[in-house]
Chains A and B, each alone.
Chain A
Amino acid sequence: MTSPVLILGARSDIARATARAFAAEGHPIQLAARHAADLQNDKADLETRYNVEVTLHDFDVLEVDRHDAFVDGLPVLPGIAVCAVGKMGEQADNETDTAAAVAVLRSNFEGPAILFGVLANRFAERGAGTLVGISSVAGDRGRASNYVYGSAKAGFTAFLSGLRNRLCKRNVHVVTVKPGFVNTAMTAHLDLPKKLTADPAEVATAIVAAVNKSRNIIYVRPIWWAVMMVIRNIPEAIFKKTSL
């Protein structure tokens, strides 16, 4: 039987597409989000489309001291967990409003990292499992336009890399996803370049393929690998004067 997939931040567009892509392969799905009761229609959708079992779970990534209890409360320990939780905020607010910056740092880094730490230990104990963290190219280099979000993602990326290094001997695999631009609610107000922008379904397909092939780090559109290669290699003396 195919193992259950836990989707964290299940209301996000990328998460919804990912849940569908795994359900299409016959995986039962555990949807976790704040106010999970609102996700009845998403549950119905997955059940209707794919004939799989779907459960709903209340979950707030910021309640880090309840993560253990949250995992205990799942009907079964999932085989795969995907974290799509994230918060971009407005860079301008993040610069001036401490509470806003804290929320961005905690939602993208602290919360997801602590939760994955809990899941990693359970998976290691079992000797099997896959963790998929949705990070961001924004974490590859801090830029004036969104370094608060970017640095939190950088922390998450580093955490995933360490976790992968620690657990690969225990048959637990960790996938880091750097989607590039994606057409979602988070970016609806931005005018994104078409060639660099993926649809949520494209991200989902890439995630399922990465899990099936045990890939480590993926850029959804390959062009992003090249773009970030260039951005990472601009000397700091020049980089600090750019506005990217």
Chain B
Amino acid sequence: MTVSGWGNFPKLDARLSAPRHEAALAALVAEGRAIARGNGRSYGDSAVSVANTIDMRCFDRMLGFDPATGQLVAEAGVMLADVIDSFLPRGWFPMVTPGTKLITLGGAIAADVHGKNHHVDGSFRACVDWIDVMGPDGAVTRCSRDENAVLFGWTLGGMGLTGVILRCAIRLRPVKSGWIRQQMIPAENLDAVITAFEDNMDATYSVAWIDCAAKGDRLGRSLVMLGEHADPGEVPARHRATPFHAPRHRKITFPMNAPSFALNPLTVRAFNALYYWNGARQKGQSIVDWDGYFYPLDAILKWNRLYGRKGFMQFQCVLPQDTARDGLNRLLTAISESGQASFLSVLKRFGPQDSPFSFPMEGYTLALDFPRHARAIALMPDLDAITLDHGGRYYLAKDSRLPADTFTAADPRAADFAAWRRDNGLADAFASAQSERLHL
């Protein structure tokens, strides 16, 4: 059956099974070249193995919650959206969340995802107390920072290549409402964005949407959005009686693959300019609901069809703090000059990260979507060269196209990871199309 990631590229004819209990899962794992798959929200080929892709979404039970500590124990196929559905009404929210809630806990752990609060709270790892991982022989190992710490370390960010995550214990964050106090800061160029981030390191959430079509003096023009969980008193009057029940957004489904001309440099430039000016008008403080704040794209189901049948790719790198300003400048210049501006471009300040193979490091991460057209594909090597020059590295959860030597050069940890996998008999047991492409 045809399996692909969120970017609809590559599309691979893969064997896909959906086991319903541990014994069936162990039997599949024993066949080798297995990769666990969550909700398929990684962009490329991380969650596909042609020989043996294992859909984990039937393992979707929540097993217990301790209101004293906020610890939730759950199976790996539980969706983050369901965690919010069950616990926000009781005053709890995920400690770390990516820009979509339609992911599994297994996917969040395997990619060690980051949110808008990375600079304060770190990656998803920060909320993980322990995980149960099934190895090649079907045996299940509990691991945490204190117990089987090596396996724990490589599994967070290990993209399913260390075993199958079965269960986890994660801690939720107490919140006083389902609303966010948002502060919108228009920043007219790259220097202004960086200043806005650096001046607001104590904001709980911060992220910038960046207009990649802007050039010259306006290069890097952005809307910086800060956020804090709102107190019940700040909730709009109509909703104050039930502060955790924000209004449901109407969901629309993108009806079909868009024709390839729908996204062209002109429409993208117009969209970016409109978005910027619209945002700039909302400068200052406002109260927005959690769903609209954290997950604006989830309101449009299947929005990946916007990019048409050929699919799209994401470029996401992180540049270390000391080279970030210059590196971003060069990346944005290359993009705006190429005319291949991206619809959705996001800039985010990361805080320190201490873990063996997770993506983040202290500095700035830039994420851009490109349709898979020849001209955008031709731009990638230029962006890669700038990334390497500035000591940057890549996010595997977004990658569908990196050459192995580029990835390895950018991330020396990859060789250690691969060696550890070989030494522990994992190299043939667990594999994805991505791990084969990148020699992990």
Contact residues of A with B, CB < 8 Å? 13, 41-42, 44-45, 48-50, 185, 188, 191
Nearest-neighbor residue (CB-CB) of B90 within chain A: A51
Question: Is the CB–CB distance between B63 and A49 below 8 Å?
Answer: no
Which B residues are in CB contact (< 8 Å) with A45?
60-63
| A188 to B72 Cα, complex, angstroms | 30
Encode contact with A along B11-23: 1 for CB under 8 Å, 0 otherwise: 0000001101000
Question: Is the CB–CB distance between A41 and B18 below 8 Å?
Answer: no
| A49 to B92 Cα, complex, angstroms | 13
Q: List 6 A-B contacts (CB under 8 A).
A: A41-B75, A44-B61, A45-B61, A48-B65, A49-B62, A188-B18
Question: Is the CB–CB distance between B86 and A50 below 8 Å?
Answer: yes
Which B residues are in CB contact (< 8 Å) with A41?
61, 63, 75
Which A residues are in CB contact (< 8 Å) with B63?
41, 44-45, 48
Kindly state whether residue B82 has any CB partner on chain A within 8 Å: yes
B52 to chain A, nearest CB (A): 15
A12 to chain B, nearest CB (A): 10
Which B residues are in CB contact (< 8 Å) with A48?
62-65, 72, 74, 86
Partner of A49, one of B20, B58, B86: B86
Nearest-neighbor residue (CB-CB) of A24 within chain B: B85
A202 to chain B, nearest CB (A): 14
Q: Which of A13, A41, A45, A48 has the most CB of B within 10 A?
A: A48
**Chain B, interface residues (CB within 8 Å), range:** 10 to 19
Question: Is the CB–CB distance between A44 and B18 below 8 Å?
Answer: no
Which B residues are in CB contact (< 8 Å) with A191?
1
A-facing residues in B409-429 (Cβ within 8 Å): none
Which A residues are in CB contact (< 8 Å) with B62?
44-45, 48-49
Which B residues are in CB contact (< 8 Å) with A188?
17-18
| A44 to B63 Cα, complex, angstroms | 5
Question: Is the CB–CB distance between B20 and A185 below 8 Å?
Answer: yes
Q: Which of B18, B60, B61, B86 has the most CB of A within 10 A?
A: B61
| A44 to B72 Cα, complex, angstroms | 12
Encode contact with A along B72-86: 1 for CB under 8 Å, 0 otherwise: 101100000010011
| A49 to B1 Cα, complex, angstroms | 33
| A185 to B75 Cα, complex, angstroms | 19
Question: Is the CB–CB distance between A49 and B64 below 8 Å?
Answer: no
| A49 to B64 Cα, complex, angstroms | 9
Partner of B82, one of A13, A42, A49: A49
| A50 to B64 Cα, complex, angstroms | 11
Known: A13-B58, A45-B63, A50-B86. 12 other contacts (CB 8 A): A42-B61, A44-B62, A44-B64, A45-B60, A45-B61, A45-B62, A48-B63, A48-B65, A48-B72, A48-B74, A185-B20, A188-B17
Which A residues are in CB contact (< 8 Å) with B18?
188
A155 to chain B, nearest CB (A): 28
Which A residues are in CB contact (< 8 Å) with B1?
191
Nearest-neighbor residue (CB-CB) of A191 within chain B: B1
| A42 to B63 Cα, complex, angstroms | 8
**10 shortest A-B CB distances, which residue pairs?**
A45-B61, A48-B62, A49-B86, A44-B63, A41-B61, A45-B62, A48-B65, A49-B62, A48-B64, A185-B20
| A49 to B85 Cα, complex, angstroms | 8
Which B residues are in CB contact (< 8 Å) with A185?
20
Which B residues are in CB contact (< 8 Å) with A13?
20, 58
A53 to chain B, nearest CB (A): 15
B109 to chain A, nearest CB (A): 19
| A49 to B63 Cα, complex, angstroms | 9
| A72 to B74 Cα, complex, angstroms | 34
| A191 to B75 Cα, complex, angstroms | 28
| A63 to B86 Cα, complex, angstroms | 37
| A50 to B86 Cα, complex, angstroms | 7
Which B residues are in CB contact (< 8 Å) with A50?
86
A190 to chain B, nearest CB (A): 12
| A191 to B74 Cα, complex, angstroms | 31
Nearest-neighbor residue (CB-CB) of B1 within chain A: A191
A-facing residues in B1-35 (Cβ within 8 Å): 1, 17-18, 20
Q: Which of B62, B65, B82 has the most CB of A within 10 A?
A: B62
| A60 to B75 Cα, complex, angstroms | 28
Nearest-neighbor residue (CB-CB) of B62 within chain A: A48
Nearest-neighbor residue (CB-CB) of A40 within chain B: B63
| A164 to B60 Cα, complex, angstroms | 35
Which B residues are in CB contact (< 8 Å) with A49?
62, 82, 85-86
A208 to chain B, nearest CB (A): 15
A242 to chain B, nearest CB (A): 27
| A34 to B375 Cα, complex, angstroms | 60
Nearest-neighbor residue (CB-CB) of A38 within chain B: B21
| A2 to B82 Cα, complex, angstroms | 22
